[in-house]
Amino acid sequence: MTMGPALLIAHGGPGDAFHDRAFEQLGKRAPRVAYVGAANRDQAAWYLRVSDTLRTRHGARVELARTMVDNPAPARGALEDADLIYLAGGDVQLLATRMRVLGLDAVLRSCHAAGAMLLGISAGAVALGPSWIAFPDDYAGGEDDRVRRFPCVGAFPFAIDCHDEDGDWEELRALLARWALDDPKAAVEAYGIPHGGALEVDARGKLNVLGTPPKRLRLDHGQILE
């Protein structure tokens, strides 16, 4: 089997051109979609908006992979049956935590390796990277020993941030700075996807820029390079 493609979208809705491109690339009639809403606590309104649009526009059969539960078996089945796994936006840490607690992060990686397409929106895109950053409530910027890096789904080796171009990618820079402290020899590629942009990842891991180009950063042995 070949690894599935992926589309990482900074911001958008299920009826936009990025989504159309993803389903065109998927190329299946009545594709099966597993909707992962952990980042927004499986909110029904979010799920219904996406599922209704994808059903009407692409004939998709959308199933909610419930994550605000103790039993992961139904969500696991939804992921394993899916042609496309859709990760909605919201809270990155909540999404990463629920996927890890339920063991669904490993299931998602396995499904992707077996050919399922991934589509991440905002926090859903960020959480597909290896790590993200958590700040204390009273964080005032700069170095702070309480800033920590937490594991994400890890479908890709590169770090991702979305729609923070107005802040010059402060959180992405903080992630790489913390990473350098955790692992001084680390080499990490990082991409900040702005509003109006997306990154497409093909089956070989090659990146294709769609729309507004991303900010590219690289951590190399403690140095953050632009």
What is the C-alpha separation between 193 and 197, in angstroms, rounded? 6
**What residue ranges define each of the domains in the chain, with the CATH number in brackets?**
6-225 (3.40.50.880)
Given the structure tokens 């960020």, which residue do they identify? 126
What is the C-alpha separation between 134 and 107, in angstroms, rounded? 24
pTM: 0.96
Structure tokens at 118: 């991934």
What is the C-alpha separation between 200 and 186, in angstroms, rounded? 25
What pLDDT is stored for residue 135 in this prediction?
A: 85
What pLDDT is stored for residue 136 in this prediction?
A: 80
Residue 210: which residues within 8 A CB-CB, separation 6 or more?
7, 18, 21, 197, 198, 199, 200
Answer yes or no: is pLDDT of 141 > 70: no
What pLDDT is stored for residue 210 in this prediction?
A: 98
What pLDDT is stored for residue 3 in this prediction?
A: 92
pLDDT tens for residues 143-190? 667 889 999 999 999 999 999 999 999 999 999 999 999 999 999 999
**pLDDT tier at 6 (50, 70, 90 boundaries)?**
very high
pLDDT tens for residues 196-223? 999 999 999 999 999 999 999 999 999 9
What is the C-alpha separation between 168 and 164, in angstroms, rounded? 6
Answer yes or no: is pLDDT of 137 > 90: no
**β strands within the chain, DSSP E:** 6-9, 32-36, 61-64, 84-87, 117-121, 131-134, 148-151, 159-162, 187-193, 197-201, 207-211, 215-220, 223-225
What pLDDT is stored for residue 142 in this prediction?
A: 65
pLDDT tens for residues 9-64? 999 999 999 999 999 999 999 999 999 999 999 999 999 999 999 999 999 999 99
